[in-house]
Chains A and B, each alone.
Chain A
Amino acid sequence: MIKRNKEKGIEWLFTALAFSSLVFLTGIVIVLVKEALPIFSTVSLPAFLGGESWYPTAEPPEFGIFPLIMASFWVSAGAMLICVPLGVGSALYLHELAGERQRAVLKPVIEVLASVPSIIYGFFGMVILAPFLQDRFNLPIGLCVLSTSIVLGVMATPTVASIAEDALGYVPRSFREASFALGANRWETLTRVIIPAAGSGISTAVILGMSRAIGETMTVLMVAGGAAVVPSSIFDPVRPMTAAIAAEMGEAPVGSDHYHALFAVALALFIVTFAFNIIAELISRRYRLKLGLSR
C-alpha cells in the first residue's frame, strides 16, 4: 500500500514538472495581456502599431511603436544577411569538406561562440566595432543599424551553423550514394540532393537564428544607439523593441500609461518570436515527414 502511494506520488511529481512549462507560459501570456490592455484605452491599436512618434514621457505622451518595430526589423534583417551566409556556409563546410581533425576543432569552437554572454558581444560592438565604423564611414555616431546587425549576425551565426549542420547530418547517406552512382559530382550532389533534402531543416535554423536576433536585448541596448526614429539609412541609430523595454521599464511608474505601453511592446515582441517558433516547428515537422523519419 505504501509502495503504491509512493509510486502515485512520483507519478504526480513528474506530471507536475512536465506541466510546469505550460504554467509558466500561460502565466506570462496572462500577465502580458493584462498589463498591456489598459494602454489601448489611451491609444487605439492602429495608432499604437502605426504611430511614428515614441515620446512616452513627453507632455502629452505619444505611444507610436512603429519606429521600434522598424528598428527591430532592420537590425534583424541585417543580422540575417550576416548570419545566414556565415552559418549555412560553416555548416556546409563542416559537413561536406572538413576532415575529421578540422571538425574536431571547429565544432566545439562554434558551440563556444554560442555560449559567449551577450554582454561581451555588446561590449565588443561598443568599444571596437562602433568606433571603427564611425571612423571608417565618418559618422556622427558609430552605434547604428549596421553595427547592431553585425554584432547580432555574429551572435546568431553559431545557432544557425549548429542547427543547419544537424539538418545536413540527418540526410541519409543513401541519397548521396544514389546521386554519385548516377554520375553526379560532389557539387551537383550537394546542391541538387543534399541541400534540398535538408532544406526545411536549414530554414528552421535560419528562423531560430532570426528569433534569437530579434529577441536579443543586452547587445542592442549597448550598440543600437537608442534613437526612437524610423531609420532612413543603415547608419542611423535606432531603438529596437527590446532595448526600449529594457531602458525604460525602470523609469516608468508602475500603472502609468508608459508602463502599460511597454507591456504592449513586450506582447508584440512575444507574438513575433512565438510566430517564428511555430513556423520553425511546422517546417521541421514537414521535413521529418518528407524524409520518412519519425522522431
Chain B
Amino acid sequence: MSYLKAESIGQALTLLKESAPESRLIAGGTDLFLQEFPERLIDIGSIEELKWIEEKEGFLEVGAGVTHTIAGGSDLISDKATALAEACLQVGSPQVRNIGTLGGNVMNAAPAADAAVALVALGAVAVLMDKDKNIRRVNVDQLYAGYNCSAVDCSSELLLKFMIESCKSGEGSAFVRFAARRALALPMVNAAVRVKIKNGIISEIYLVAAPVKPAPTRLLKTEELLLGKSACEETWLKAEKSAAGEAEVRGSLLRCSADYRKHLVGILVSRAIQVAALRAIGGKEEG
C-alpha cells in the first residue's frame, strides 16, 4: 500500500494522472477508514486551496476540504447559508466533525449525509477538475450514481468547491434531523429547506428530505404545492401532509419502520420550512 500526501491541487492532479485507476483520494477518511483500504491513497486533506470560504459576486464558495467544524463555526456560512452551518454542526461527533470534510460528506454518497442534504436544498453547485485540469460544474444532487455510490470517479477527478447562491434579504434556510440519539447516529430522517418569501407569500422554495432516494432529492410536488401559498400555519400543515405523502421511504431494522419514517418526513419538512420562513421574514427564533 502506498500513501501519498499532496500539498496542492496541481500536485494532487499530477499524482492522480500518474497512477489511475488504482488510486483513491482521501481527505478526512472518516468513512474511508471503515471500508477496505485501496492500494494507493492520495491525501488531499492538507491542501490549503481546498479550505477557503469566501463570498464572491453573490455566491458563497466553500472549499471541498473545509471540515464540518470549520463550516459549522463560520459566520459567513451561518449568515448566508444557515442550513449548511446547522447541518455541519450535527454530523457525527466532535471528532468526526473535526476531521471529516464537506467534500467527503458528498463524495461518500450516503443518501442522508447531513451536509449534502443541506447543500442540495441550498441549490449548491459542485466544481470539479479532472486530471487534465478541465473544469466542470454540476448540481450536487447530480453527483450520485446509486446508494452509497458516487457518480464521480475519484481516480480521475477532484472536487474543488461548492458554490452556493448567498442568501439575500427575504430568504432563509434551515436544517433539522431526527435520530435515535443526540450524537453519533445516522438520521432516521433529515430535512433542509431554502425559502424566499415576498409579501408573506412563498415565492421560491427548495425542499429536501432524506433518506428518500439514493441522492438527497427535492420533494418537487410539495415545492409546487407551496409556491404562492402564504407563510402561515395552514400552509405548514399542508407541507407536512404533502411531504409525507410524496416521500417514498424504506424501513430498516436498525433505524425505524417505513411508516414512521414517512411520518417523520412530514414533521421534519414542516419544521424546517417554519424555521426557514421565520428567518426569511427576519422573525425572532426561540431559544
Q: Do A and B come from one complex?
A: no
Which residues of A are interface residues toward B (Cβ below 8 A)?
A: none
